A and B are shown apart, each in its own frame.
Chain A
Amino acid sequence: MLIKFTGGKVYDPANGVDGEIRDIHVRDGRIVTPSAGETVHQEYNLAGKVVMAGGIDPHSHIGGGKVTIARMMLPEDHQGHEVQRGDLTRSGCGHAVPSTLTAGYRYAEMGYTAAFEPAMLPANARQAHMEMADTPMIDKGAFVMLGSDDYFLRLLTRGAHKDEIKDYIAWSMHAAQALAVKVVNPGGISAFKFNQRALDLDEKHVFYGVTPRDIILTLGRSLQELGVPHPIHIHGCNLGVPGNKDTTLATIRASEGTPIHLTHIQFHSYGTEGDMKFSSGAAEIAELINQYTNVSIDIGQILFGQTCTASGDSMRQYGNTKSAHPKKWVVMDIECDAGCGVVPMKYRDKSFVNALQWAIGLEMFLLVNDPWRVFLTTDHPNGAPFTTYPHLIRLLMDKTFRNEMLRRIHPGAQAATILGSLTREYSLYEIAIMTRAGPARSLGLRDRGHLGPGANADITVYDDNPDREAMFTTPLFVFKNGELIVRNGRIVKVVTGATHVVRPEYDRKRAEKPLKDYFDSYHTVQMENFRLHDDEIITAGCGHAPGTCGCLVVHPTGART
């Protein structure tokens, strides 16, 4: 069946299309160039409408133990946000940490067709995939967390050959069914278990004797050599600590040309100037990022209101517990593998620190020149729930609106930010880069995030509403694999998205020999059961037989394009 989308204003940055009037054709879930005279079975007249690929969120905590701890901890956050069962949809609830079902529906209703869980602990990977499988509508995938796990740290300590390290990284990606690798407070989660309370870039882990710099570089180079498309996804040292901008600057310089992605950089861009000993480091960091083209970032924008922070960074989350609102929190040490910390948080525009955090995130968005290297995130739910994206887009696209908002925040913060002097307004083309083309390219999703022939037909159509918040809140149509799933911001069909993975080549036998001994000696799970099998992540989601349905997508490795 051939579907034609006629006459829309198309924003497709991956193919250099900037608001041109174009027709798009879809056959069997893919965008195609129709043959001459081919019959069109269905047509959508999109004159005057804005057409983009489906949105892709490259960093959103949607699945895994820490999110479920947050859900369990915060019934008060769900109350008043219950969602009624519909003819097509299941009931659910949630605001900051919605139930899986509700999260999937909300993403689709907002025009997003994919979201990626960035902090999947190997030990918790099975559950992360269960939760993602129960997140309908959208595609998903996860980044496996390494860098505080005992096995990796001991490899580093004994100066293991780089092939052995690469084998282990590849094995972990296969075992956890991962799309990418993340490192969180490199070595710091482990150091906290040895009662270290901070670990700066060049500080030694008391037990292993390695530094975060060693860890980041080893992971970054190994992933590059393995051909994993997404660079090492770094949640750096000293999250949330005033003065951490210096660590961030040093981390960028430390990359020495190795591709790195610095996540939720807003939380890592703090100086110590001023009476409050808290200031913006955004300008300095953005300037360096503009020079280092091997670096990409996402922002982790905060927006005001109640949310919950959920992170693998047990060390820093423990440090943040004093700001918990409401006053309850969880910190966990996990399996000599990783950790987590869940701390509810209420960001207030009348708090100097929160207001300045808000401004720092926006400064960073506006000061980094290349939208291909900046992705739009709130680090859901850490900075704000993902449902605030339309508001955030308006802040970026509408200077008048932004300055109006700026005038409402703590006056001290207004004085401490250069935000009011920044006149940049993002264009629709740039928004399409930041929310589609950029993340897809960075994650190696070659057939996602664009509208060229061969692409998966994940398409979002908007009214060209000058109120960009309204525009991005309620898309006119959302298509997943060419099927209409949302009309006027409401679900009209429930679908199951795919799980995306990358499987670098490695010598499995060579990797598993020492691992088998290791698991037998120390672990409480057998190596054979630590690995997630394909049928565990496929049957759970859709009931199709493996290989028959595209619900597990294995992306190729190789040099980045």
Chain B
Amino acid sequence: MTAVQAGAQTAPASASQTHAHVTCPFCGLRCDDLEIARAGQTLKVTRNGCDKAKAGFERPLTQPMPRVGGKEVSLPEAIAAAAALIGNARLPAFGGLATDVDGMRAIMSIADKSRGVVDHAFSEAQGRNIKVLQTSGYIMTTLTEARNRADLFIIASDVHTFHPRFFERIVCNEKSMFSEAPPKRTIVFLGEGYDTSAAVGTRIGDVIQINCAKQRIGEIVSALRTLHKGVPLPAGDIAGVPRSQIEDLLARCHKADYGVVVWVPPDLDFPNADLTVHQICEFVKDLNVKQRFAGLSLGGNEGASTAVSVCTWQSGYPLRVSFATGQPKYDANLFAIPKLIASGQTDCLVWLSTFTADLSPPATDIPTVVIGSHDLKLAKEPAVYIPVGTPGIDHKGQLVRCDSVVSLPLRDLERAAGLPRTVDVLAALEAAL
């Protein structure tokens, strides 16, 4: 383990530098074609980043000291204070979990030792897919596969807002593996209020808008399933959509060589949205009896897909997991940190948020240890605050992409911020328990 130091910022080794093939940690798409120029400690995205990436990389570096009870302290003092809080807690809760693979490994280790609970800030959203996985399963595809193979995209979430380069990279790409002159693609927006502005370019053929509230997507997909099976449906609109439009969509699905239904779990943010995901996945299965079709779930922002993957391979269970008994116990509902806080079951919150400034800990009166990015917004001064480096800016790392298949390496952009790695802070913390 590297020695843990803070406030030891030295000047960067060189005054300026350009990094190529940089992976962006700011959404689940994990674009890795960015070029980033550094001048002193200032970063600038010079190629391929979206606005979200620019906002993430280019924010000015502040260099806070660790704090205990609002008072600046040394890193070892902050770690000792955090260890005391965690060590004395009845049920420490490890939340946020916006970190890289090594950070998540360290959280798993400390949660196991301190008999705590682990829960990512976006577990609820991710859980919509996991529920479907655990009840019926699915047929899925990944980004490169969709980019080259799909001729029909059914977009069932506001993809562009969550993943600003999805269309550019996966839908509007001019080159394709399987044809010198790849055919135009049909884009169907299923839902309302999406940013559809990116569905433009030479690859885009028909763009069809099917207007319905997101809560009613499931109804429409279920109607597609019914019609596909040849079961008659009562006459009339379905979820406010004219019947003819649904029949047209089904015909287009049947004609597709490789259709892909895309959704973003956090955007399907309404009660029982897992049933919508379920309908989509079952429709895809129905179609696959005769033809090829696949689902493509996005999301995975703030390290969500990394957290759930590491938790699953290390503990056996996806989030949310409690180690209170010394063994992993899985309950996607009971171990939700907001619930544990509300019911008074947890008496110490450890909040890990190392990518953006915005994934702040929930407002709570229980003692909170924040291990966070240098500029993390805090509504309230936590018991302990330990600023750490951002994986992919301040140190190397690895992150799992939204499709949970591909992982990308993260680079150290060498701005020498003097911010410690989360994994080193947590290792020291665990040793002090």
Contacts and interface: CB of A to CB of B under 8 A. Distances in A.
Interface in A519-535: 521-526, 528-529, 532-533, 535
Contact of A336 (B145, B170, B409): B145
A85 B409 contact: no
A533 B409 contact: yes
B177 interface: yes
A121 B101 CA distance: 19
A523 B173 CA distance: 10
Interface in B111-169: 112-113, 130, 133-145, 147-149, 169
A90 B109 contact: yes
A550 B312 CA distance: 28
Contacts of A332: 139-142, 294, 405
Interface string A68-92: 1101111100110011110000111
B329 interface: yes
B76 to A, nearest CB: 20
Contacts, number: 199
A124 B407 CA distance: 7
A529 B323 contact: no
Contacts of B309: 68, 127
Contacts of B145: 193, 333-336
Nearest to B141: A333
B176 A335 contact: no
A134 B405 contact: no
Interface stretch (B50-58, B183-191, B233-241, B313-321): B313-321
Contacts of B175: 521-522
A97 B1 CA distance: 31
B228 interface: no
Chain B interface size, under 10 / 10 to 19 / 20 to 34 / 35 or more? 35 or more
B105 to A, nearest CB: 7
B176 A522 contact: yes
B139 A331 contact: yes
A127 B407 contact: yes
A141 B400 CA distance: 21
Given A75-B134, A93-B327, A335-B143, A528 B21 contact: yes
Given A93-B316, A533-B409, A336 B149 contact: yes
A162 to B, nearest CB: 23
Which residue, of A69, A79, A97, has the highest number of chain B Cβ atoms within 10 A?
Answer: A69
B194 interface: no
Contacts of A192: 292
Interface in A299-328: 318, 324, 327-328
Nearest to B260: A333
A336 B21 CA distance: 21
B137 A329 contact: yes
Nearest to A89: B112
B338 interface: no
A236 B143 CA distance: 28
B326 A85 contact: yes
B133 A123 contact: no
Contacts of A121: 405
Interface in B300-326: 308-310, 312-318, 323, 326
Interface of A: 63, 65, 67-69, 71-75, 78-79, 82-85, 90-94, 97-102, 121, 123-124, 126-127, 130-131, 134, 150, 192-195, 207, 318, 324, 327-337, 342, 521-526, 528-529, 532-533, 535-536, 540, 543
15 contacts: A83-B327, A84-B326, A93-B315, A93-B316, A99-B316, A123-B405, A194-B292, A195-B292, A327-B136, A330-B140, A333-B292, A335-B145, A524-B147, A525-B144, A529-B32
Given A92-B328, A195-B291, 18 more contacts: A78-B316, A78-B330, A82-B329, A99-B315, A102-B316, A124-B406, A124-B407, A127-B407, A130-B101, A130-B313, A193-B149, A193-B292, A333-B142, A334-B405, A522-B144, A524-B144, A528-B21, A540-B398
